[in-house]
């Protein structure tokens, strides 16, 4: 197994979301690897937690990465957050991401969780869980 592809996968996902016209339009370009301190935009996308499991086979080292992309919005209702979450899914599914290290075998949407957070439930958060299979050459 190799965790060595993790940084390359994260960079490719971030780049894909940043370059996607719909995601950028819906988020106002607020796409973060780490949410900045202080005031943040009303709506943004953030890369989140990751779990990695060994998936090597006869052809070489590999891993399965399960990672979360969060859509956070203070807009009233879940509508705007769901539209942005859909754009995130569209941007990542069936797209041949190029990694600086290793190779992406596939990237799939697994599930989503939508909830209210913050004081009085004023913030809507949708966590999108993806699964990526990578090989390390």
Where are the domains positioned within the chain? 6-34+41-136
Question: Would you say domain 6-34+41-136 falls under CATH 3.30.2000.30?
Answer: yes
pLDDT at residue 137 in the model = 77
Q: Are strands 103-117 and 61-73 parallel, antiparallel or unpaired?
A: unpaired
| Confidence band of 68 (pLDDT split at 50, 70, 90) | very high
Tell me, letter by letter, the H, E, C secondary structure of the chain: CCCCCHHHHHHHHHHHHHHCHHHHHHHCCCEECCCCCCCCCCEEEEEEEEEEEECCECCEEEEEEEEEEEEEECCCCCHHHHHHHHHHHHHHCCCCCCCCCCEEEEEEEEEEEEEEECHHHCEEEEEEEEEEEEEEC
Is the pTM here over 0.75, yes or no? yes
- Tens-place pLDDT, residues 83-129: 999 999 999 998 899 999 999 999 999 999 999 998 888 899 999 99
Percent of the chain clearing pLDDT 70 (strictly above): 99
Structure tokens at 122: 């004023």
Q: What is the pLDDT of residue 11?
A: 97
């Amino acid at each position: 197994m190799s965790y060595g592809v993790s940084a390359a996968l994260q960079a490719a996902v971030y780049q894909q979301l940043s370059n996607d016209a719909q995601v950028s339009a819906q988020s106002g370009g607020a796409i973060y690897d780490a949410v900045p301190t202080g005031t943040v935009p009303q709506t943004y996308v953030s890369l989140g937690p990751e779990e990695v499991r060994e998936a090597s086979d006869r052809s070489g080292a590999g891993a399965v990465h399960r990672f979360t992309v969060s859509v956070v919005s203070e807009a009233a209702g879940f509508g705007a957050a769901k539209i942005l979450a859909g754009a995130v899914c569209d941007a990542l599914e069936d797209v041949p991401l190029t990694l600086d290290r290793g190779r992406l075998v596939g990237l799939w949407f697994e599930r989503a969780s939508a909830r209210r957070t913050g004081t009085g439930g004023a913030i809507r958060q949708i966590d999108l869980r993806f699964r990526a299979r990578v090989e390390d050459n």
